[in-house]
A and B are shown apart, each in its own frame.
Chain A
Amino acid sequence: MDSTAVPARPTRRLRLPRWPVLSLIGAVVFLFWAIIAIFGDWLAPHDPGAFIDSWNVLGPMTHQTWLGTDYLGRDVLSRIMTGAKYTVGLPFVTAGLALFFGLLLGVGATLLSEPLDTALSWLMDTVNSLPSTIFALVAVAGFGTSIPVLIIVITALYIPSAYRNVRAAALNVSRMEYIDAARVRGEGHLHVIFREILPNIVPNMLTHFGIMFIYIALLLSGLSFLGLGVQPPEADWGALISENMVGLSYGAPAIFAPALSLLSLTIAMTLMVDAVSHQNRER
């Protein structure tokens, strides 16, 4: 049999995203922080808890201490590097979890009964409309502060937002006639959801992940700033800013370095979100 008449399926072209320069810079900065977050504990030049120079607190940048020393004379650079796993990692994990559970609940609700769907949507809308900082404060008072509790509380706070976003995007897609076509063909719910709807809302979910990441990073560092987030001896960047407040009037690097790190992280993510959502709109 001559099967050469059938053209072989070409391997799918790997398309590099055509992002604006600023967004590419954002991606590089984000990647940099991600690497620091993963390997920071090993790469840090000093023990983040060691008093390098107890006589020279809030010291300037030197060869020994690239970003100066903090209010107890500890190495700021090492503290930023070891704190990255909280400031970068926690939002990443919680935003991912929130997205996952939001998706799960969204899919589950549509598969189950309609009253349940309505009730769940109302619950989600309610939680979503609460001021997140206030509610995080309540939860911290109720559950205390530890990393697992922070993860659970923040995930729970952001599931509704993910749920709403996924639902809205899926609702838009489900109005398309190709969904009707699949239903007429006799496809089951799962095929329709996972093969026809989900691939079309991936860009949407990515954008929303980014937005949640930013909000969570801001919220977490805020909580730590108030002393209600990551607890000593560990410290995320918000805590670093807070504990070195004394250095503000001297312009000590101990306060500006973590502040700028935090800024660069959130701005980098915003720029990436911009690029993805822009691309999505142009389709």
Chain B
Amino acid sequence: MIRLILKRLVLGVLTLWLVATLVFLVSGALPGDAAASLLGQDATPATLAALRAQMGLDQPEFIRYWTWLGGILHGNFGISLANGQPVAQVIATRLPNSLMLAGLSALVAIPVSLVLGIASAMKPNSVFDRLTTLLSIIALSTPSFLIATLFVLVLSVWTGWFPALSSVDRVHSLGGLFQVMTLPVLALSLSVIGQMARMTRAILLQQMNEPYVETAVLKGSSGLRAAVLHALPNVAGPIVNASALSLNALISGVVFVEVIFAYPGLTKLMVDSVSNRDLPLMQACALIFCAGFLILVLIADIIAILTNPKLRTA
């Protein structure tokens, strides 16, 4: 088992390296010059050359790649082109906000979708199941920016219950935090719930046809008990995996939610950096998201190994 997990860890590190390379290659592909765009119209050739040298842009691509990679390993993500601050510092102020948003949303979305998924798998084709399925389809077919927009319209513009902008940095009380976070978290969870509830239902439903579930029922256990105590432990791996994939959707959703609620998070920063062509900042943001996501997938993998006695005893 330890060997299996170690293998996953090594593979995870290799994957992260591959991702970093991809990010570097893709983001640096556009011809044109970050130094030129930074200096704008009134750049003289001399200042341009000086800045290029300072930014290391006069080096060949390959050298720049290694310098960049080496910097990351030492926690040095470079200097933001937009405001000249170290990227690591800029990110440090924003990352906690995004983590809080994503974390709170996962905290809402995961239990709700599990309960919905299990409940509809218990009584397939019942009114409840059909309703859940229909709502899930609508939720997962709706772009998250639309969901967020509708939430703003209904819960903020029309009713005025919650603020339309979530300036979380200016909040100091728990109540204030609730005020500010409710809308973004709701909007974000909703799109994830649709996807995850559907997957949970499908995975569980398939498992409910297994003979051992029938055995449990014939021993006298209720359907719910058979589902939760017998079927669920068997699909822990697939469900955790599906959840990890749903979190992919969640991260994508964070982008829009942060933009719409003007939430001071990392994805907002990244979108801005894309618009400003602030490469170092954007590369760092992308890398953090990918790393975060890969870690989630890794955790899902390890949970899958731990919950399977065949792999555990191997």
Contact = CB atoms under 8 A, between A and B. Distances in A.
Given A134-B270, A140-B274, A126 B145 contact: no
Contact of B143 (A138, A218, A227): A218
Contact of B290 (A130, A142, A259): A130
Q: How large is the interface on A (under 10, 10 to 19, 20 to 34, 35 or more residues)?
A: 35 or more
Interface stretch (B21-29, B78-86, B112-120, B218-226): B21-29
Contact of A127 (B11, B22, B152, B293): B22
Interface in A118-135: 122-123, 125-127, 129-135
Contacts of B22: 126-127
Interface string B4-36: 000000010001001100110011111000000
Contacts of B256: 222, 225-226
Secondary structure at the B interface, as helix, strand, loop or mixed, is helix
B253 to A, nearest CB: 8
Interface stretch (B46-54, B180-188, B275-283): B275-283
Nearest to B145: A225
Interface string B25-68: 01111100000000000000000000000000000000000000
A266 B137 CA distance: 9
Contacts of B286: 134-135, 137-138
A28 interface: no
A65 B143 CA distance: 26
Nearest to B157: A249
B282 A267 contact: no
A143 B143 contact: no
Select the residue from A122, A125, A138 with max chain B CB neighbours within 10 A. Answer: A138
B30 A142 contact: yes
Contact of B248 (A131, A143, A226, A267): A131
Contact of A226 (B18, B141, B255): B255
A21 B276 CA distance: 49
Contacts of A274: 137
Interface string B128-167: 0000000001101111111001001100010000000000
Interface residues of B, number: 47
A263 B141 contact: yes
Contacts of A166: none
A249 to B, nearest CB: 5
A141 B143 contact: no
Contacts of A219: 252
Contacts of B145: 221-222, 225, 238, 241
B19 A267 contact: no
B124 to A, nearest CB: 12
B217 interface: no
Contacts of B283: 138
Contacts of B29: 142-143
A129 B294 CA distance: 7
A139 B19 contact: no
Contacts of B289: 131, 134
Given A132-B248, A222-B144, A262-B143, A142 B27 contact: yes
A282 to B, nearest CB: 13
Contact of A267 (B23, B141, B251): B141
23 contacts: A122-B15, A126-B18, A129-B15, A129-B293, A130-B19, A131-B252, A131-B290, A132-B248, A132-B252, A134-B286, A137-B274, A138-B26, A139-B27, A142-B30, A143-B26, A214-B140, A221-B143, A226-B259, A241-B149, A248-B152, A263-B142, A269-B141, A271-B137
Interface of A: 122-123, 125-127, 129-135, 137-144, 214, 218-219, 221-222, 225-228, 238, 241, 245, 248-249, 259, 262-263, 266-267, 269-271, 274
Query: 7 shortest A-B CB distances, which residue pairs?
Result: A133-B252, A266-B141, A142-B29, A131-B251, A141-B274, A142-B27, A267-B141
Given A226-B271, A238-B145, 4 more contacts: A135-B286, A222-B255, A226-B255, A249-B153
